[in-house]
Structure 1
Amino acid sequence: MFSVFTNAWKVKDIRKKLLYAVMVVAVYRLGSAIPLPGINLTAWQFVRSSGTNRTLFATIAGGGIGTIFQMGIGPYITSSIIMQLLTVAIPRLEQMQKEGEEGRKKINQYTRIVAVALAALQGAGTVFSLNADGLFIHANMLTWIMATLSLVTGTIFVMWLSELATERGIGNGSSFIIFSNILAGVPSSLMRMYSYAASNGAVGVIVTLVLAVAFILLIAFAILIQDGERRIPVQYSKKMVGRQMYGGQSSYIPIKVNIAGVMAIIFAISLVQLPATIYGFFPSPALAKASEILAMTHPVGALVYVALIVCFTFFYTSFAVNPIEMAENMKKNGGFIPGIRPGKPTSDYISRTVKRLSTIGSGFYVMLAIIPIIFQWVLGMSAGFGGTTLLIVTGVALEIVKQLESQLLMRHYKGFLS
């Protein structure tokens, strides 16, 4: 991997793209330290240092608490998920997606519009929550409106930054920003582990070493999931066109083990944390009890979390993969799976394969999500990492390496990974 970056740095065009991506992240991190208008700086510094109200989704998608980038790319992520589901559910959007580049541009425009609307709603809720925590100096309507507009503007600016990073940088800009959000929390996690080891003597050192080994093993496991795929062989029949014979070659359909990716875990986290989110707006004893029981560190909450991951893995996969459409496209192009008849038997075979892979994938996701929680139960301290963040970090890192490798292949006609 390091050889890829070394060789990429020697190419002027790729070096510019890398520097541009780094510049985008630097601008984003700077905005994540600018407080909202009307914020009480003393209370704000205390909340930032304590990490209060810092949920996993906020860590993935947003900036610092009480800053203009607090919501970050979060509304855009939610909007993208909604549009993905609507594209499957609404025939007009599905047809638009099949229209090529123009259709995708229209869908992207709709995604931005929905993201701005969601940012306005989420911004109002965020200001309400910050006001309840007493972070504003003057709790009046003008302060709340200015803070809400600042949050919405910050989200729009981050969306623009991510699109610039996609166009001029390496890989997907949104993923790169999320990647930087997660890595920004690494120093504080390392400091917590160091403090724990220093304050608990030999036991603390042993626990810290165990966590470090578990962290390395989970990274290797996450990489295995990211690269794992089932290749369904496809044979294309020969056909005569004029005096030329075409077809007859063999290929395969790659179906990944992690079809749902981290979406299943993100959906599960969102539902499990819903009572706590509502409790922030409408405090009540019932919601407080529900939030306590559904916390992922509670046995009941952990079981609900696991069940939701499994359910959402199958749910998202059913939208992402269409076996009937795949079988029809294969039949139109004269392709068939050896030993399987074209048409419905092919679609049934693909469907069974996808279901088996979804079962295996959901088991992997559950293991990645629950192991850090089990460590917290057994050791009595936060592991400092989670399965979702590991999946995202490894996925984005692998994608960046693949992008650099493809760029190098285009210029030198050979790879540098070997």
Structure 2
Amino acid sequence: NFGMIITTVITLTAGTIFLMWIGEQMTEKGIGNGISLIIFAGIIANLPRATLNFFHIIGPGKQLSVFGAVLVVAVILAVLAFIVFMERGQRRIPIQYAKRMMGRKMMGGQTTHLPLRVNTAGVIPPIFASSILMFPATIAQFSDVPWLQDISAWLGPSTYLYMGLFVALIMFFCFFYTAIIFDPKDISENLKRQGGFIPGIRPGIRTKEHIDRVLTRITLWGSLYISAICVLPMLLIKYMDVPFYFGGTGLLIVVGVSMDFMGQIESYLISRQYEGLMSKGKIKGRR
């Protein structure tokens, strides 16, 4: 029914735009990234139902034994701990600033670092990769063309072709998105302008090449880490017949948004404490 298709497209588009507007309002007037929090809430909303379904399949003669259930919970906790560890991981490049005379004061001379996250791209690569792989199946739902149905079957989530393409696309988008959001040339120029340099590396082109080389190595390990997290649930379902109600992308989103949200709350509380100390100092000074 062509009218039904048009109505569905308009409804989904309008709903998406409305959710984007709500997310922008949350970002401007609240704490955290609004759109990420909406996705986070949608994933967490399925947690109670998934927990009940998990307990229903535990017991003698059922899909999982008690030992198997404990093993599954241990694997999930280990995966969550590994995600937190990798999301916190950084490669710190030491930065030194040359001493300069400004008036009668000697400025600079301090040592700091440039933090490079292991997972610089975040959850964008698996989201893009899964969206591309889901596109043929989505088109096949609205068509009876045989070759489209064959492609949809080949790209099923449990097939080796899907897993291989998924890993390849994740690694591609990790490098692609990192290159978009992080420019080593701008970093090297800003350091040179501010009198900063990497010990043992000449400012300018050499600094840019060094940062680019380190970032490439980190991004490679980050892409392998994201690929492993996203493919692990598929392997558990395929080979061990273990019910895994959350995909790897969902786990990355939940952990990443939670850590970002808690970090922003901590920064907000610290800033409020400093504001309180400053206001108390002003009051005491007036007295």
Q: What TM-score, normalized by structure 2, do the two folds share?
A: 0.88
**Do the aligned partners of 2:94 and 2:111 also contact (CA within 8 Å) in 1?**
yes
The equivalent of 2:90 in structure 1 is 229
1:248 pairs with 2:93: no
Retained in 2: the 8 A contact 1:295–1:302?
no
Which residue of 167, 174, 177 corresponds with 1:316?
177
Question: Aligned AA for 1:259?
Answer: T
Q: 2:246 aligns with which of 366, 385, 395?
A: 385
How many Å apart are 1:191 and its aligned residue? 2.5
Could you tell me how far 1:291 is from its partner in structure 2? 1.6
Deviation by residue 1:188-223 (Cα, 9 ceiling, x = unmatched): 222221222247448433332222111111111111
**Aligned match for 1:338, one of 199, 221, 226:** 199
Given the alignment of the two structures, is residue 189 of structure 1 paired with residue 76 of structure 2, yes or no?
no
2:216 is the counterpart of 1:355: yes
Distance 2:129 2:13 in 1: 26
Where structure 1 has 5 or more consecutive residues not aligned to the other structure, the ranges are: 1-138
For residues 101-112 of structure 1, the aligned pairs below 5 Å read none
Preserved CA contact (<8 Å) 2:89 2:118: yes
Counterparts of 1:238-317 in structure 2, within 5 Å, are 238-317=99-178
Instruction: Determine which of 251, 255, 259 is the counterpart of 1:394.
Output: 255
Distance (Å, rounded) in 2 between the aligned partners of 1:397 and 1:203: 30
For residues 359 and 184 of structure 1, the distance between their equivalents in structure 2, rounded to whole angstroms, comes to 33
For residue 405 of structure 1, what is the aligned residue in structure 2? 266
2:235 to 374, 377, 393: 374
Structure-2 residue corresponding to 1:208:
69
Distance 2:126 2:120 in 1: 12
Please say if residues 97 and 109 of structure 2, whose CA atoms lie closer than 8 Å, have aligned partners that are also in contact.
yes
Does the C-alpha gap of structure 1 residues 148 and 227 become closer, same or farther in structure 2, counting only changes over 3 Å?
same
Cα distance between partner residues in 1 of 2:126 and 2:14: 28
State how 1:90-239 maps to structure 2 within 5 Å. Answer: 141=3, 148-198=9-59, 200-201=61-62, 203-239=64-100
- Equivalent pair of 2:57/2:64 in contact (CA under 8 Å): no
CA distance in 2 between partners of 1:323 and 1:295 (Å): 39
How far did residue 152 of structure 1 move? 3.5
Provide, for residues 294-313 of structure 1, a one-character-per-residue CA deviation record: whole Å limited to 9, x for no partner.
22211221122112211221
Letter in 1 for 2:164: L
Distance 1:301 1:202 in 2: 26
Question: Residues 121-176 of structure 1: CA distance to partner in whole angstroms, max 9, x if unpaired?
Answer: xxxxxxxxxxxxxxxxxx674x6665554434333332232222223322111111
CA RMSD of aligned residues (A): 2.1
Count of matched residue pairs: 275
TM-score, structure 1 normalization:
0.62
Larger mean CA deviation between 290-299 and 332-341 belongs to 290-299
Q: Percent identity?
A: 39
Aligned equivalents of 1:149 and 1:372: distance in 2?
34
What are structure 2's unaligned runs of at least 5 residues?
276-287
Cα distance in 1, alignment partners of residues 63 and 155 from structure 2 = 34
Distance change >3 Å, CA 287–CA 204, structure 1 → 2: farther
Contact 1:223 1:394 in 2 (8 A): yes
Instruction: Give the Cα separation in 2 of the matches to 1:140 and 1:315.
Output: 38
CA shift in 2, pair 1:199/1:149, >3 Å = farther
